[in-house]
Amino acid sequence: MKLKLTILGLLALSSLTYFVAKNRVICPKSDEFALCKELAKEAQLALGIPQERHAEVVKMQSNDPMYTYPAYCSNENDKIYVNTEMLSQIPYGGKRCIFCHESVHIKYNDAKSTPKVENRADTEGFYATGCSQCTHEMAYGRSLQNEDELIKDGYLTSKEINKISADLKKQHKLCQYHKDNKLTYA
Ligand SMILES: [Zn+2]
Ligand SMILES: [Zn+2]
């Protein structure tokens, strides 16, 4: 059985447009797929996954039933599938959070998407970003979603992610990108 674990980061395209307008999409690389591979590698290293266990990043096909999601992973073949079209609309920090979330699933070889598993992927993943700004961007994305659904499925709410962001800010944690670009508002 093929089990798919996904991030309910940013669902509807209509809310994505608003998200983009508010956050300004800043992508340091014109090649979205190359950026995905780089961020997946960085996330898996941050989570202490040995290189030989790193999941391969694969482009999602547009007929994939999961194409409404920016990314998902499958424990069947240890691959992270990416929707580059959707990811290109998500701010850099949101992307880092997505790859950290998926990488926690890889780390624990999660076989099923349960509330407990998604809660761990969110919590451990967002801390693994080591950046108050990246998590702040993710919190904004989540604020556009149905809170009851998020809680039911084990995902952190916008408020909970902002708590992580505040915790990281207290420790002066910023990723290299946000250190260099000084675009913080968290
Ligand atoms: Zn997940
Ligand atoms: Zn950052």
Report the C-alpha gap between 137 and 152 in whole angstroms. 22
Q: Residue 163 — very low, low, confident or very high, per pLDDT cuts 50/70/90?
A: very high
Structural contact between residues 117 and 105, judged by C-beta atoms closer than 8 angstroms? yes
Say how many Å lie between the CA of residue 53 and the centre of ligand 1.
18
Q: Residue 75 — very low, low, confident or very high, per pLDDT cuts 50/70/90?
A: confident
Say how many Å lie between the CA of residue 113 and the centre of ligand 1.
7
The number of beta carbons lying within 10 Å of the beta carbon of residue 146 is: 11
Say how many Å lie between the CA of residue 175 and the centre of ligand 2.
4
Ligand nearest the Cα atom of residue 184? 2
- The whole-number pLDDT of residue 184 equals 53
The number of beta carbons lying within 10 Å of the beta carbon of residue 37 is: 16
CA angle, 126 as apex, 4 and 86 as ends, to 5°? 55
pLDDT higher than threshold 80 for residue 131? yes
Instruction: Sketch out the chain's domains with CATH numbers.
Output: 4-181 (3.30.2010.10)
- The whole-number pLDDT of residue 77 equals 81
Amino acid at 53: R
Residue 24 backbone class (left: φ over 0; alpha: ψ -120 to 50; beta: rest): left
Say how many Å lie between the CA of residue 63 and the centre of ligand 2.
32
pLDDT higher than threshold 70 for residue 32? yes
Of residues 88 and 26, more confidently modeled: 88
> CB within 8 A of 102, min separation 6: which ones?
5, 7, 40, 43, 55, 71, 72, 73, 80, 121, 125
